[in-house]
Chains A and B, each alone.
Chain A
Amino acid sequence: MVLLTLLAVVAIGIVRLRNLFAVVILGAVYSFLIATVFLVLDAPDVAMTEAAVGAGIATVMMLAVLHLTKTDESRPRQPQIFPLFVSAVTGAALIYGTLDLPPFGEADTPVHTHVGPYYLSQSIPDTGVPNVVASVLASYRGWDTLGEVVVIFTAAIGVLLLLRRAQRPTRQATRSRRDAP
């Protein structure tokens, strides 16, 4: 509960602030908080990923982007009613959706009665891997992980295609400048 309150406070801070540097840092704080929430919910794998990617790499990337732009967000021309409306409606729909969810941790929910017990009981006889998260990711659902890797591959290729082109000539320019004197 404390963590969720802190999350809400940080989110409001991110919305209110205009200084993008502070927003990036608060984004990292948000990621660490949500990682702690995952840890409290006994999901150390997800927590580790969130802390490393969300709080670490994403923050560094955003700072690198910030280096290319201004550090202050310009004020919107008119009050932003429509985005507020969209997020309010989405939030309300999500809260409405949670009303139908079974109580947290209940044993006979569809999630825990479908393939979950099979993974839990068969992971060691099938694959010899005690960490069920690892065996599900790499073996049972290897196809999904392959998709994930292809997404990362595509992201890297996309960024390289977009940003490298502008970099090539400047690198040659600096080299010739260095060679000139």
Chain B
Amino acid sequence: MRLDVILRVIAKLLLPFTVVFGFYVHFHAETSPGGGFQAGVVIGAGVILYAIIFGLDEAIKIVPVRVVELLVSVGTLIFLGVGIVGWLLGGNYLDYYALPIADPIISQEVGIHLVEIGVLMAVTGAVIAIFYAFAGRGRSR
């Protein structure tokens, strides 16, 4: 593991940019291609890169398995929850106009952002969780 100095240095340089790019893809999706799904994959890929270069144990120290599992389920719950809130406030399921905000455009934006954050969390968590599962399995040999 001492010969891969170049890999380690490059990975360390790349990682912050990967994660920031992921968030850019997420929050800039209104006007450019992208969205929660793509952003989740990019951020997940950053964590996977870290796990490949520095080892699974190091990655689990930074992003624990528990956090990853919570991300998957909380992300899904946020999406479901936004729908249910619209429902309870008298609209259809996933009706953002029913959210308690005066301006309908703003209520759409809020709804879309909440839903996209749910997607982001679920996808990031799922990608990392599946990778952890496979990589952890490989160690048992």
Contact = CB atoms under 8 A, between A and B. Distances in A.
A17 interface: no
B135 A57 contact: no
Contacts of A45: 33-35, 38
A-side interface size class: 35 or more
Interface string B2-34: 000000000000000000000001000111111
Given A131-B31, A142-B94, A153-B122, A57 B140 contact: no
Q: From A134, A155, A162, name the one whose CB has the most chain B CB atoms within 10 angstroms.
A: A134
B82 to A, nearest CB: 8
Interface stretch (A8-16, A26-34, A74-82, A122-130): A122-130
Main secondary structure of the interface of A (DSSP, over half): helix
Contacts of A127: 105, 108-109, 112
Interface string B47-88: 010001000000000000000010011011001100100000
Main secondary structure of the interface of B (DSSP, over half): helix
Nearest to A146: B79
B-side interface size class: 35 or more
The 10 closest A-B pairs by CB, nearest first: A156-B126, A44-B33, A64-B134, A163-B133, A170-B140, A127-B108, A128-B105, A138-B112, A142-B94, A52-B41
Interface of A: 44-45, 47-49, 52-53, 56-57, 60-61, 64-65, 67-68, 126-131, 133-135, 137-139, 142-143, 145-146, 148-150, 152-153, 155-157, 159-160, 162-164, 166-167, 170-171
